[in-house]
Amino acid sequence: MRIGELSRRTGVPERLLRYYEEQHLLRPERRPSGYREYSEADVDTVRRIRSLLAAGLNTATIATILPCLRDEGERLVPTCSDLLADLTRERERITRAITDLQTSRAALDDVIAAAPADVRERAASGATGSGPDSSSAAAGESSPGPGSTMVA
């Protein structure tokens, strides 16, 4: 099948399918005319790629583990013994990223909670209060400029 048909069957844009090929995730045959020729198995491969991307893996990691996975109904099953260690490392990386994001969210929650009631009321009503006539500017306070960092 040609790339347009693979795109239609998988819901993945042609441009992204070409990217998967560049990343060595797909290896279509080439016709003498230069057109890509995809097999029926490529439909399943694209679905595996999409599942692994949704799980937070990058394309370089997917390229190394894809040959060690098979479909078993709705699940992907590892077939290589060393794959479990790779997947465990990726899971730990994702867990660290989640922890970092939760820490960042908690810091923002603290800053938001520290806002005076009138500022929270204006924010809830849709007023931004960030213009030159806002209460902090009127009080002579300056706000950080572009590129500055807020310290908690």
Model confidence over 12-41: pLDDT tens digits?
A: 999 999 999 999 999 999 999 988 899 999
pLDDT interval class at 146 (50, 70, 90): very low
Q: What's the pTM?
A: 0.63
The residue with greater pLDDT, 61 or 111, is 111
Residue with tokens 């990691």: 61
| Average pLDDT value for residue range 55-76 | 87
Residues 107/152, Cβ–Cβ less than 8 Å: yes
What's the mean pLDDT when you consider all of the chain?
84
Which pair of structure tokens corresponds to residue 30?
């080439």
Nearest Cα neighbor of 25 from 55, 85, 69 is: 69
| Spatial distance between the Cα atoms of 32 and 142, rounded to a whole number of angstroms | 67
